[in-house]
Every structure is written in structure tokens, then in C-alpha cells.
Amino acid sequence: MTKRQLKLGLVTTGVGGPGDSNRWLDPEIPVDASVNIDWYIDIVRQAEAAKFDLVFIVDSQFITADSPPHYLNRLEPLTLLSALAVATSHIGLVGTLTTSYNDPYNLARRLASLDLISKGRAGWNVVTTGDAGTAGNYGRDEHYDYATRYGRAFEYLDVVRGLWRSYEDGALVRDRDTGVFLDKTKLHALNHKGEHFSVVGPLNIQRSPQGEPVIFQAGDSEQGRDLGAKVADAIFTHAKTIEQGQAFYADLKDRAARHGRDPDALVILPGFTITIGDTDEDAREIQRAHRRADQSFDQALGEFGRAFGWHDFRQYDLDAPFPAAALDHAKTSFFTQAKRITEIAVARGFSLRDTIEFVRDQHTGPFVGSAETVAAEIARWFEGRAFDGINVHAGHPSQFRRFTQEVVPLLQRRGLFRTQYEDTTLRGNLGLPGPALSA
């Protein structure tokens, strides 16, 4: 039996995502990084040279003036990943696409195209959209409620996977001698009629070398966890402590087993900002400096409303008890996150100011130290089954360089991480079984 191997992903939020309003002031980051294809190619090639499994592109489709800089002006994921596909050869290409504001036929087709362009490296981060304001960009007065969001998502996955199985392998004969292009017995219509979708099929594109794109999932609610455990190949999440990571890991693997799945075929990948210094104290100083520089309190206050449907928290007294009634505004938004924050604020008697500071602290990850310390901590979490791998937030370019050049070799020396890609497909590199050939 081969030793369990750590998986590594790269998360890029160019000029700065949540918590990083001022990251673009770093002279190493082009001020247009989030729309600059040359910058993306450069950083993704760095990750590929370090043998990373994948790059993960986050997305949403609603902005306000308080949105993080990367969100204000960024490339659409599938367009971006198609360009990255021809500039790289092995790294997996995972894009966030919502089941709430896309039609399944169109999305199945676009992802299958990326899968063929990349020769089997496409992945789909299935989200249901947390930014409720997106509704207004798609002709709806209100975002779907949770039950509908996840009801659609479950059915959506069935439809998309069904469409991806329209052609059996070998259906496209393309034999010039016999003049046979298609074996008609191996092309299947879908004829799906469900509660939310009605799709006839078949899809007009064949399968890729990895069978079909790898499914990632990132919802944290009960419904989100169930969706992930039932249909996903891999889960994106967050973890602040090893205990939290272990609890989430055990819960998701347990849910997968209850759905009759092999728990090892579900890869758990929390995301972290990692801070590396020459010594542990140096790293802590870098982390403190980044925390001070990357976002002011006022910027954090503006951004804080996002989980609560972009509710304006500037209207409240900062030093009065946290306004718990604001949770009402999160009902169709990032409710799980908003509820957790509200519960903590109430339980600990936080003011709004305390709560903002608490959330700012959440952005500082648990991996801080010299390269040796960070590698040892990653090994401890991995071996303690707090994760199967991690998504490394690229953050400041000098830090990402230190991770690839100093921490990755230490993980390789420990026998935890590959020195060569095992496969040319994302599914193969993640060690995932191939999908069934027919629905």
C-alpha cells in the first residue's frame, strides 16, 4: 500500500480578497493583478513547478464599494482557466461556478470544454451563491432560500453528471475506412424532468481523459455538508485549530460512509494563509505587520456586512453590544458564517468593535513560523487527520515563494508530498477513482 500523500492547492486572490483590502500596495503585486493574465500564468507556473495539485479560483457575481479589491475587478473563472490550461501541463484547474445562476446544460458544456482543453485537469467548485445581491443581476427580486438553493444544487449535480455521460467511451468511432463517425448505440439522451430542471440532452461534447471534471464543494451548513458528502470528490473549508479541522474531517468522512461511499475517495482541503520567517519570532512579526498593513479597522467594518447580505454595520455604535438582530439580514446570504459570528459575539458579550477584531483575527492562520516549524505543523495536522491537504492562499508573493521553495522541499523530505506528478489528470493526481461510464 502506498503512503497517504498530502495534496496542495493554490488560492489566488490577486490584489486582495476578504481581509486583505490593502494587499495590492505590496510592490511585488501588479496593481491590475486580478485581471492580468500574465500575472496569473506566472504564479500558477510557480505552483506547478512545486508540483501543486491544483489552482482554485474563487468567484462571486455581486459587488459593493466595500468589496475587497480582487472582487471589484477580476476575470471570469472559466475564461481564465481556459487560458491557464494552455500555459500549463499538469496542475488541476478548479473554478467556482454557482448552481443558482447558471443553466445546467450550458455549465456542463463549458466545464467539459475546459476538461478537454486541459486534457483532463478541470475541477468545479459547486457553490449555491452566498452573495444574495446576485439575484438582482439575474432578474430575480430575491435570492433563493436555503432549501431551494440546495434542492436545486442536488438536482443540478444529477443533471450535469448525466449530461457528461451522454457519450459512452468509444462512441465516436471516427473511422475513415468505414466512414463511421458515430456508434449511435453509445449516445444517450438524458430526458431529465425534475422539480427544478427539465433537460433533454444529449450533451454535444465527449468525455475527457479523466472521465469528467472533479467536483469540489464548499458549503458549511448542514445542507452544504450533506451535498459535499454525497456528491463531491473534494471539499474546500476553513479550520482555525487542529481540533476544529479534525471534527470537520471526521464529520464529512462519516457522512460519506453513511451515503455508502469510500471515505478515502473524499478529499478534505481547508484553506490557510501561511506565514514563514527566518525564525518563529520573525514569522510572528511578519504576521503582525501584515495584519496591521493589509486592512484598516474601517475597511474591516465595511467588509464585515458581506456575510449578513451586505447589511451596513456603520450605522451602529461600535462600543454597544453586538447587534444580534442583524442576523435576520443573513437569511439568504452566508447564513452559516453569520450565525456562527453572532453566536460567538453574544456568548462572549462582544461589542461590535470586539466582533470585528475577532473576525480580523480569523484571517491569521495557524501556520506561522520558520519553514521547519510550518512543515512540522502541516505534518502533524495531516497525520492527525485534520485534512488530506491544504489550499495555500498565495497572499504576498514573497510568502508564496518561501512556501514553494522552503516548505515544500521539507514536506517532500518527510515523504509526505510528491516530487513528480503521478498523472496528467487532476483526478489521477488526487488519487480519486474514475467516474462510472454510464449514468
Ligand X SMILES: Cc1cc2nc3c(=O)[nH]c(=O)nc-3n(C[C@H](O)[C@H](O)[C@H](O)COP(=O)(O)O)c2cc1C
Smallest distance, ligand X to C-beta of residue 137, A: 13
Interface with ligand X, residue 12, by CB under 6 A: no
CA atoms within 13 A on the CB side of 364: 20
Q: Is residue 390 helix, strand or coil?
A: strand
Query: Closer to ligand X at the Cβ: 98 or 355?
Result: 98
Q: Of residues 109, 119, 196, 238, which one binds ligand X by CB under 6 A?
A: 238
Per DSSP, helices labelled H in 232-279 are: 242-258
- Sign of CA pseudo-dihedral 73, 77, 82, 85: positive
Q: Are strands 172-175 and 54-57 parallel, antiparallel or unpaired?
A: unpaired
- If binding is defined by CB under 6 A, does position 271 make contact with ligand X? yes
Number of Cβ within 10 Å of residue 380's Cβ equals 11
Taking CB under 6 A as the criterion, the residue among 21, 237, 295, 364 binding ligand X is 237
Binding range to ligand X, per CB under 6 A, among 42-50, 164-172, 231-239, 366-374: 231-239
User: 430: closest CA among 269, 282, 312?
Assistant: 269
334 binds ligand X per the rule CB under 6 A: yes
Give backbone dihedrals phi and psi of 14, rounded to 5 degrees, phi first.
20, -105
Handedness of CA 253, 256, 257, 261 (dihedral sign): negative
Residues 39 to 68 in contact with ligand X, rule: CB under 6 A: 58-60
Residue 127 binds ligand X, judged by CB under 6 A: yes
The answer to whether the CB of 30 falls within 8 A of the CB of 36 is yes
**Closest approach of ligand X to the CB of residue 178, in Å:** 48
Q: In this structure, what C-alpha cell is assigned to residue 137?
A: 443581476
16 contacts ligand X (rule: CB under 6 A): no
Does the protein bind ligand X through residue 22 (CB under 6 A)? no
Please, are residues 151 and 195 in contact by the beta-carbon 8 Å criterion?
A: yes
Nearer to ligand X, 205 or 227 (CB): 227
Least gap, CB of 229 to ligand X (angstroms)? 13
CA 76, CA 96: separation in Å to the nearest integer?
Answer: 9
Q: Of these, 34, 208, 336, 399, which contacts ligand X (CB under 6 A)?
A: 336
The least CB distance from residue 36 to ligand X, in Å, is 20
Tell me the per-residue interface mask from 129 to 168 with ligand X, x by CB under 6 A, - otherwise: xx--------------------------------------
Q: Site residues (CB under 6 A) for ligand X?
A: 58-60, 96, 127-130, 218-221, 223-224, 236-238, 271, 334-336
